[in-house]
Amino acid sequence: MHTATPLLRHPDFRVTAVRCRDDHTRWCGPEAASAYGLVLALRGGFRRAGRGGVEYVDATTAYLTVPGEEERFAHPTAGGDDCTSVHLSERLWRELFADRPVPAVVHVDARVDLAHRLLLRSVRRGDAGFATAERLVRLVGTATGPAAGGTGQSRRLVERARTALHDGHPDAAGLVPLARSLGVSPYRLSREFQALVGVPLTRYRNRLRVGRALDRLEQGVDSLAGLAAELGFTDQAHLTRTVRAQLGHTPGELRRLLGPAEG
């Protein structure tokens, strides 16, 4: 039995949980990969024949697919397997890899394992445009090696990104469009931003949004749901989680703390 459960759909990527309970040592018939992607096993294992030859895929091995690539599978391990399938748009794929060769199979070390788990955690929390996008490009970048070399203008790149975030530029609504507007890959932007600023781009953006939330709460904003929408949060619960994580108070508590003094 084979089931695929969509976890997240975004114009540039999809994340799907794949569960297979087949139990056979024989190879299935050839299939053609339908998308650019990365597949990582969470539990169990299986054999796969693809452009990199025959590999046993388990929690220590991941593989990358390209459209039209012929694949065959065998499931000799009792109990089946659970995997995460990440599909990328052709545009994002080319932005992430540029002119680098794309490996067929990659080793999943502890860093990649953690990046995988953090991606799944981020998917459950929402904020696909920034938090999940950043986790996803970090996962792909960490798994497949460094991005193409920089131009020596990292500081200028980060300054431009910070300016776009501060100004609320429309392209700053998500990691992928922001990187495109700056002419770099999302992985390079995420990596160089954290290297120079000291915090992930998503956390920096949330710091700006929490500051704006404090401004609006001081001004006496009435609707917290409206405030969440105004600041680009998925919903009021997303706003509450982010504010509490940074300040230790909910927006409702802060509204009372910052409201007009009673005299």
Number of domains in the chain: 3
- Do 66 and 13 fall within a single domain? yes
pLDDT of residue 124: 86
pLDDT the model gives residue 263: 47
The CATH number of whichever domain residue 220 belongs to comes to 1.10.10.60
Q: Answer yes or no: is 125 within a domain.
A: no
- Domain encompassing residue 179: 154-198
DSSP class per residue in 73-89: EEB-STT-EEEEEEEE-
Cα angle, residue 158 at apex, residues 133 and 172 outer, rounded to 5°: 45
pLDDT surpassing 90 at residue 185: yes
Q: Do 87 and 28 sit in the same domain of this protein?
A: yes
Q: Which tokens in the block code for residue 22? A: 């087949």
CB-based contact 51:36 (threshold 8 Å): no
> Looking at residue 60, what is its pLDDT?
85
- pLDDT at site 152: 56
Convert the pLDDT of each residue in 39-81 to its tens digit.
999 988 899 999 988 988 988 889 999 999 999 999 877 778 9
Based on the fold, state whether residues 234 and 184 are members of the same structural domain: no
- CB-based burial of residue 69 (10 Å sphere; 0-12 exposed, 13-18 middle, 19+ buried)? middle
Each residue of 157-169: pLDDT tens digit? 998 999 999 888 9
CA-angle at 101, arms to 99 and 105, nearest 5°: 150
Residue 63: strand, helix, or coil: strand
Average pLDDT of the segment spanning 177-199? 93
Q: Which of 108, 139, 173 is the last residue of a domain?
A: 108
pLDDT value of position 259? 75
| Residues 208 and 193 placed together within one structural domain of the fold | no
How many angstroms separate the CA atoms of 70 and 152, rounded?
Answer: 40
Please report whether residue 242 resides in a domain. yes
pLDDT at residue 149 in the model: 47
